[in-house]
Structure 1
């Protein structure tokens, strides 16, 4: 690989290449990905082998997941195809409670004998661990749903679209960016299909078919005279949708402040790539920001990451309890703050919901990975911390009787545990557009798209960058800025929240690769918001050295 190729891939493609691939993945022909491996009756018969074996060995509870995980990755650079990968992983994971203790076993041998052996290993592990268990596992009750199914409501199955059509789309986007003067451009398309079957000794047999789609690119512009360069990534969002997301319908385009075009519900990658090249030129010529206090107007494609790090992670109960600490830290939202019933997390207009049912989101499923029907619930209400994110063996700790339905495993070979739901800032109650919001700002910065970030181990002190920055002077966009990052602590920041646009501006964004746990697992999660204003936030210049 040439050095220039390496730098480009490191900047964008490498991140996608490192997206999670389930264990025992094998490369397959795309046509094979459309052929079912077994029907629901066969899955139920195999699941019953695990459940009956677990009962016979003394388990008081057992669940089994039979999973088929399909991934397709198409990557291009300028006029060339960089890589096409199609993978399949198929296997079974069995979880049991014996002597009040969890045990887990997995196998890629999806046969009665393979599943029986995996179950026996799970029971043996539980019995061995029970010697050290101080308190027995307490599971919140959940209804028996019988035999049910759930599917992502897609209009086009991306795996049915030809590789040629996908490559042509990406190369067309690259060509448009190059026509506008881009120095380099990488583009990619990542498709995921999780076919998951869950069964438990409580009587649920749940079949789910989940689809996710992520188009992305990075356009680089180099000013050879000055030696400066800038990258502008795609305005796309990873979504819980099918290939229809790439239709780029005119009615789904939003004319944003500063002359930018934003996207909602569907996406035009070719148009966005051309716009990215033009904006990358402007980014090089932009004025460097003067450090100081500014009112920030944050667009949803930027806001999602701030929400993810400062709200999503600290409201995970296992972080609060210290069960999750080594990977990305614990949480400042300790139980005493919740128990006080008046901890002022943010201003009165700040309301956060966790939601595993939101249509089009990455986290949308019918049931979580321990058979709980998914729902939405409040985390922050009128600025006050009111709840956490918790699963069946955690909710008793906070005096609740019902799981929140946010248990997930990235594959059949990994044990399921508490993962972040879609955590979203609710739109404002008063009708306000981004333009109207900006008109009320004397000295501020409008920020679009997420960039680099840093946050401490308790999810409290942080710094966030972005991609596009527009100076606001006397209620108007006054040109582009660069070298911008803002600093605050979580409580200070959300208490400075002064205005939120209404639901007309509400949009989702998110990530395929939310990491957690040891061994680490990845979770796909979305975060929604409308454009939001924060007053008096400290802004630094990242281009200046001390």
Structure 2
């Protein structure tokens, strides 16, 4: 769609001013066709050699450089109109060095031989200035060079090749279905990201990567004029590391005859119809009675609980207190890890980390310091067994290698420790969701993520959701509302009594997980099968007036 066509359809003159929440790596507006122009890898290697040789000549004992081209696209609609469309590009170079035992970093958007040489000189100067402050020298885990290699997200259809009009038509059709179903308000959107990243280091790596992510989303709201209330339901889609093929609807299923769930692909039309119906049902649903319940948590909900209560607390920099101001530290410690007997949860709790899971947001061939990621276990049979590390952290917990957990949101941000995909492993005994529900006497089945709260050490927390279904004597008997559960971290994970098998395994995730100062945004997935937690405290969140 040309700009003049968009202005005609939407009546908005500010089409270039895209609003894409959660992404810091915004750059200049570009036309969609420009997003498909790639930089020749031979040019990148020439620039890399200039940067690395300059850094070494100025006194660096180690150097790496990243040439990054970050593309973002958003198509945003509301009811029967387009609110915003935009494409943006951010392009530049970041260079990190060690000189006199200290880190130095510099970045710039002059992507020329002279430009990268000056950036490299500045990075070395920063490192030498840092060295005057003192402190222990940087200790890097060894890393072999890979030579010239490349990796690309295995996509079927590049989202940036799909015409804007096709995306608008899909979203407006979805909105129309919601309005036909009685929705009072509806908005929908498609976000697409393409990271074209080139990494080179004095270890001998020249790594070219082409990473794709996509996120369709919507929110439907229904009002009841008579009672003066309203209820909403967001999409049950999940952001993922796929191309536009994610929006090719296949593999949906009904669970217990109630909730439609989506496996590897997503049907936005079907979901928005169901969401509109659900919003009406929520208006008529009864408010939950506070008390102890057995919770059956769908992966569309459980991913966020895993993210906040397991993934963040096991980041080593957070454990050490280096990361504190942005969302706190951790209740865990290196001593708890080294003891070998800290029971994080029940024997059913097996937490694994990876950055190569197909379709995941965190999937890459190499991290942002040239490490090929490994799969590793964080919790085994309920016992804490590892933390997330990068090259200059590995020695702190006795590792001789990085686990490939380094990432920077853009070329002008220094890379640092970010979580990989952190997931709850499925159960080994055959168990379906229907069978799990049959075993529950008094419980609640929770679908979708909602509001949450967690303390500064990631220990006490509260989580809500999108949909809540009451379970009595092994059957779903109706919808509930105003539900949230509260627990301490260990209390909650030790109440884990069952996990469905791998047939139910699905990914959820965050497109914009924040960390650090200055803050950076990271995309990460968390997988699980549906899981049951017994005897969890449930509260009523309904606000009382007066």
Give the TM-score taking structure 1 as reference length: 0.96
What secondary structure, in the 3-state scheme, does the structure 2 residue paired with 1:17 have?
coil
Q: Does 2:458 align with 1:459?
A: yes
How many angstroms does 1:21 deviate by? Answer: 3.6
How many angstroms does 1:117 deviate by? Answer: 1.1
| Superposed CA offset, 1:2-51 (max 9, x none) | xxxxxxxxxxxxx973221415x000000111112x21111000011110
In the alignment, which of 31, 34, 44 is matched to residue 32 of structure 1?
34
Tell me, in whole angstroms, the C-alpha distance in 1 between the residues paired with 2:387 and 2:340: 13
Q: Does 2:124 align with 1:123?
A: yes
Q: Residue 273 and residue 213 in structure 1: after superposition, are their counterparts in 2 closer, same or farther (change >3 A)?
A: same
Tell me, in whole angstroms, the C-alpha distance in 2 between the residues paired with 1:448 and 1:258: 14
Tell me, in whole angstroms, the C-alpha distance in 2 between the residues paired with 1:408 and 1:133: 26
Tell me, in whole angstroms, the C-alpha distance in 1 between the residues paired with 2:20 and 2:112: 32
8 Å CA contact retained: 2:104, 2:123: yes
| Superposed CA offset, 1:150-193 (max 9, x none) | 00000000100000000000001100111111111000000000
Q: Residue 208 and residue 140 in structure 1: after superposition, are their counterparts in 2 closer, same or farther (change >3 A)?
A: same
After the TM superposition, which residues 37-76 of structure 1 pair with which residues of structure 2 at under 5 Å, given as runs? 38-76=39-77
Give the TM-score taking structure 2 as reference length: 0.96
How many angstroms does 1:258 deviate by? Answer: 4.9
Aligned equivalent of 1:411: 410
Q: Does 2:343 align with 1:344?
A: yes
Q: Does 2:17 align with 1:18?
A: no
Aligned equivalent of 1:132: 133
**Greater shift in the superposed pair: 98-107 or 254-263:** 254-263
| Superposed CA offset, 1:473-494 (max 9, x none) | 0000010000000000110000
Aligned equivalent of 1:335: 334
After the TM superposition, which residues 174-213 of structure 1 pair with which residues of structure 2 at under 5 Å, given as runs? 174-213=175-214
Tell me, in whole angstroms, the C-alpha distance in 1 between the residues paired with 2:144 and 2:123: 24
How many angstroms does 1:374 deviate by? Answer: 1.3
What secondary structure, in the 3-state scheme, does the structure 1 residue paired with 2:215 have?
strand
Aligned equivalent of 1:396: 395
Aligned equivalent of 2:15: none
Aligned equivalent of 2:230: 229
Aligned equivalent of 1:11: none
| Superposed CA offset, 1:421-452 (max 9, x none) | 10000000111111100100000000000000
Aligned equivalent of 2:308: 309
What secondary structure, in the 3-state scheme, does the structure 2 residue paired with 1:336 have?
helix
Aligned equivalent of 1:114: 115
Aligned equivalent of 1:220: 221
How many angstroms does 1:85 deviate by? Answer: 1.1
Structure 1 residue runs of 4 or more that deviate by more than 3 Å after TM superposition: none
Tell me, in whole angstroms, the C-alpha distance in 1 between the residues paired with 2:31 and 2:126: 37
How many angstroms does 1:133 deviate by? Answer: 2.8
Aligned equivalent of 1:326: 325
Tell me, in whole angstroms, the C-alpha distance in 2 between the residues paired with 1:58 and 1:126: 10
Tell me, in whole angstroms, the C-alpha distance in 2 between the residues paired with 1:367 and 1:504: 29
* Count of residues in correspondence between the two structures: 529
Tell me, in whole angstroms, the C-alpha distance in 2 between the residues paired with 1:51 and 1:86: 32
8 Å CA contact retained: 1:258, 1:470: no
Tell me, in whole angstroms, the C-alpha distance in 1 between the residues paired with 2:103 and 2:463: 39
Tell me, in whole angstroms, the C-alpha distance in 2 between the residues paired with 1:211 and 1:195: 9
Q: Residue 258 and residue 225 in structure 1: after superposition, are their counterparts in 2 closer, same or farther (change >3 A)?
A: farther
Tell me, in whole angstroms, the C-alpha distance in 2 between the residues paired with 1:280 and 1:51: 57
Aligned equivalent of 1:363: 362
How many angstroms does 1:544 deviate by? Answer: 4.5
8 Å CA contact retained: 2:24, 2:521: no
Aligned equivalent of 2:523: 524
Tell me, in whole angstroms, the C-alpha distance in 2 between the residues paired with 1:113 and 1:45: 12
How many angstroms does 1:372 deviate by? Answer: 0.2
8 Å CA contact retained: 1:258, 1:477: no
How many angstroms does 1:120 deviate by? Answer: 1.1
8 Å CA contact retained: 2:78, 2:175: yes
8 Å CA contact retained: 1:348, 1:382: yes
Aligned equivalent of 1:254: 253
Tell me, in whole angstroms, the C-alpha distance in 1 between the residues paired with 2:227 and 2:31: 47
Aligned equivalent of 2:266: 267
Aligned equivalent of 1:513: 512
Tell me, in whole angstroms, the C-alpha distance in 2 between the residues paired with 1:26 and 1:364: 26
How many angstroms does 1:131 deviate by? Answer: 1.1
Q: Residue 258 and residue 489 in structure 1: after superposition, are their counterparts in 2 closer, same or farther (change >3 A)?
A: farther
Tell me, in whole angstroms, the C-alpha distance in 2 between the residues paired with 1:241 and 1:206: 21
Tell me, in whole angstroms, the C-alpha distance in 1 between the residues paired with 2:412 and 2:383: 39
Q: Does 2:82 align with 1:81?
A: yes
What secondary structure, in the 3-state scheme, does the structure 2 residue paired with 1:114 have?
helix
What secondary structure, in the 3-state scheme, does the structure 2 residue paired with 1:491 have?
helix
How many angstroms does 1:545 deviate by? Answer: 3.9
8 Å CA contact retained: 2:315, 2:387: yes
Tell me, in whole angstroms, the C-alpha distance in 2 between the residues paired with 1:504 and 1:90: 41
Q: Does 2:494 align with 1:495?
A: yes
After the TM superposition, which residues 469-480 of structure 1 pair with which residues of structure 2 at under 5 Å, given as runs? 469-480=468-479
8 Å CA contact retained: 2:19, 2:84: no
| Superposed CA offset, 1:352-376 (max 9, x none) | 0011110000000000000000121
What secondary structure, in the 3-state scheme, does the structure 2 residue paired with 1:46 have?
helix
Q: Residue 16 and residue 320 in structure 1: after superposition, are their counterparts in 2 closer, same or farther (change >3 A)?
A: farther
